[in-house]
């Protein structure tokens, strides 16, 4: 069974040859401009039947392949703001309760150390996958992608193409998932041989990312059998085919009256348009690391500076009162997310740079900065701008250096899709850096 969306397109062409001229005309019109429906694919017909048997009522959405986003859901009719676009009955959701009431409950409940929700659902998915048609969830599993474009699917050479800041986050995430795998492997080796025989890193990676990329927020009571953190996830068949747009306005949650997980949109759609939800106001490195894609015009995209960058400023400018300044910043939670965006320096970064630029007297009135009650033109602000320019120049140079290195690196045996993702991330960072440099260079305190 192929899970590759492109393979579906090829099969479409094959079917077209077997059908009449009017069908061909209809399909040709769709290529480029219109999505290609997959509603008549065997997997989806079976999925729909199975869902109907389990209480799902017909809705106006159907799976289709879109040029820009791959597989997603399109509407067959006009959707108006305020409409509920999809409603999934509780018995079709895979939650930690599903796992803790399933045939593997005894094993999961005895796991030591306790599993997280994501680990428990991953174990459940792998177990159900290996049952094939015997699984109650077979029709759902059959429609899931078999691989992902998240960092754990990248080879070393592909990872090395990522912007430095994304690379370090990706490595951290990879290590986290490897630990989650090791925990399961060592317990199952001793206490659940049957599972251990089918369990391997590849199917764990698959299950982990099915959950990571497709689960919805679903509030459940903490279970004594699982770790208490992040106990709020559910897989929702069919609904999980909705792609992300930073501009989508939706409301999602479990409706206790209908006993369904519902999504209401506040956007309007014409027939055959792709319907989107928002996964949250995520920047591109988050979207890439968690979901394996990026958005080219992402309004939430940022470039992050780190504590190391601040230390670089300290040493270069022989900064006074470092400990005091850092303590104030730490106490006020200002040392994380030091970012810039297409709109320039974030308020947090600007506050940090101004604080670092203060002398003793100014530090005594530190909280006035937060209220923007300091005079507009002063030496502190001028120095803070020098700090900003220094950081930007340094980031720009290291960006150019990385660009140069990625160009001269000869890449063989790499996946084009992975290298393109890395390149797009680098391009987006360059755009943010150059725009912020332009904004900062245009600041003139004398004219304000």
Positions that interact with ligand SAM (CB under 6 A):
69-72, 145, 213-214, 240-245, 291-293, 295
Q: With contact defined as beta carbons under 8 Å apart, do 158 and 415 qualify?
A: yes
We find the least distance from the C-beta atom of residue 242 to ligand SAM, in angstroms, to be: 6
Closer CB to ligand SAM, residue 12 or residue 309? 12
Strands 216-217 and 84-89 come out as unpaired
Q: Which is nearer to ligand SAM, 326 or 421 (CB)?
A: 421
Closest approach of Cβ 367 to ligand SAM, in Å? Answer: 41
Residue 72 C-beta: closest distance to ligand SAM, Å: 5
What one-character DSSP code corresponds to residue 226? B
- Tell me the two tokens of residue 90: 């509780």
Residue 88's Cβ-count burial label (10 Å; 0-12, 13-18, 19+) is: buried
In sequence order, the 6+-apart residues with CB closer than 8 A to the CB of 293 are 149, 244, 287, 421
CA distances from residue 10 to 16, 36, 69, 262, 415 in whole angstroms, order as listed: 10, 11, 17, 33, 20
Minimum CB–partner distance for residue 398 and ligand SAM (Å):
28
- Give the torsion sign (CA, 15, 16, 18, 23): positive
Q: Which is nearer to ligand SAM, 47 or 241 (CB)?
A: 241
Give the nearest distance from C-beta 82 to ligand SAM in angstroms: 23
Query: Closest approach of Cβ 303 to ligand SAM, in Å?
Result: 21
Residue 287 or 383: the one with the smaller Cβ distance to ligand SAM is 287
Q: How far is the CB of 277 from ligand SAM (least distance, A)?
A: 8
Asked if residues 295 and 284 have their Cβ atoms less than 8 Å apart, the reply is yes
Q: Output 260 or 295, the one with its CB closest to ligand SAM.
A: 295
Q: Is the dihedral of CA 293, 295, 298, 301 positive or negative?
A: positive
- Give the residue among 207, 187, 225 at the shortest CA–CA distance from 146: 207
Whichever of 72 and 163 has its CB closer to ligand SAM, that residue is 72
H runs (alpha helix) in 199-320? 201-214, 284-286, 307-317
Backbone dihedral region of 102: left (phi > 0), alpha (psi from -120 to 50 degrees) or beta?
Answer: beta
Contacts of 298 (CB under 8 A, 6+ apart): 246, 282, 283, 284, 287, 428
Nearer to ligand SAM, 72 or 344 (CB): 72
Query: Closer CB to ligand SAM, residue 240 or residue 301?
Result: 240
Q: Which is nearer to ligand SAM, 44 or 181 (CB)?
A: 44
Give me the helices (H) in 371-415, please.
379-408
Neighbours of 421 (CB within 10 A): 24
Q: How far is the CB of 206 from ligand SAM (least distance, A)?
A: 13
Give me the least distance between CB of 216 and ligand SAM, in Å please: 9
Question: Smaller CB distance to ligand SAM: residue 298 or 346?
Answer: 298
Structure tokens at 294: 């990026």
Work out how close the CB of 209 gets to ligand SAM at its nearest, in angstroms, rounded to a whole number.
8
Q: How far apart are CA 11 and CA 374, in angstroms?
A: 66
């Amino acid at each position: 069974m192929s899970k590759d969306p492109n393979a579906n397109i090829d099969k479409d062409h094959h079917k077209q040859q077997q059908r009449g001229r009017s069908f061909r005309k209809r399909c040709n019109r769709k290529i480029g401009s219109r999505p290609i429906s997959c509603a008549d694919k065997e997997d989806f017909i079976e999925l729909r039947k199975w869902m109907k048997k389990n209480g799902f009522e017909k809705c106006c959405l159907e799976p289709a392949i879109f040029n820009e986003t791959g597989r997603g859901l399109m509407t067959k009719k006009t959707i108006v703001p305020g409409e509920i676009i999809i409603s999934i009955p509780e018995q079709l959701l895979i939650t930690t309760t599903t796992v803790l009431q399933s045939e593997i409950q005894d094993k999961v409940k005895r796991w030591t150390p306790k599993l997280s929700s994501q680990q428990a659902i991953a174990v459940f998915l792998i177990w159900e996958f290996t049952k094939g048609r015997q699984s109650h969830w077979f029709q759902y599993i059959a429609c899931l992608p078999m691989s992902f474009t998240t960092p754990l699917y990248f080879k070393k050479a592909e990872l090395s193409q990522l912007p430095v800041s994304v690379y370090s986050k990706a490595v951290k995430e990879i290590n986290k998932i490897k630990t989650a795998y090791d925990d399961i492997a060592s317990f199952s080796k001793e206490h659940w041989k049957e599972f251990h025989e089918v369990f391997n890193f590849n199917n764990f990676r698959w299950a982990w990312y099915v959950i990571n990329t497709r689960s919805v927020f679903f509030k459940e009571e903490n279970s004594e059998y699982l770790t208490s953190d992040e106990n709020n996830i559910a897989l929702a068949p069919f609904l999980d085919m909705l792609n992300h747009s930073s501009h989508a306005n939706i409301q999602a949650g479990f409706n206790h009256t209908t006993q369904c997980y519902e999504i209401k949109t506040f956007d309007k759609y014409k027939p055959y348009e792709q319907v989107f939800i928002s996964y949250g106001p995520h920047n591109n490195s988050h979207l890439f690391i968690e979901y394996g894609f990026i958005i080219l015009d992402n309004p939430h995209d940022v470039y992050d500076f780190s504590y190391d960058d601040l230390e670089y400023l300290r040493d270069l400018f022989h900064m006074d009162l470092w400990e005091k300044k850092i303590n104030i910043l730490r106490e006020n939670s200002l040392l994380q997310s030091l970012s810039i965006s297409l709109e320039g320096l974030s308020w947090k970064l600007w506050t940090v740079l101004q604080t670092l630029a203060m002398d003793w007297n100014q530090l005594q009135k530190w909280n006035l900065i937060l209220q923007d009650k300091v005079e507009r033109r002063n030496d502190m602000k001028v120095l803070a701008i020098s700090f900003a320019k220094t950081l930007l120049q340094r980031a720009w140079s290291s960006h150019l250096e990385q660009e140069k290195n990625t160009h001269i690196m000869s890449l063989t045996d790499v996946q084009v899709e992975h290298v393109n993702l890395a390149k797009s991330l680098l391009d987006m960072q360059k755009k943010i850096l150059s725009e912020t440099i332009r904004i900062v260079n245009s600041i003139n305190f004398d004219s304000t």
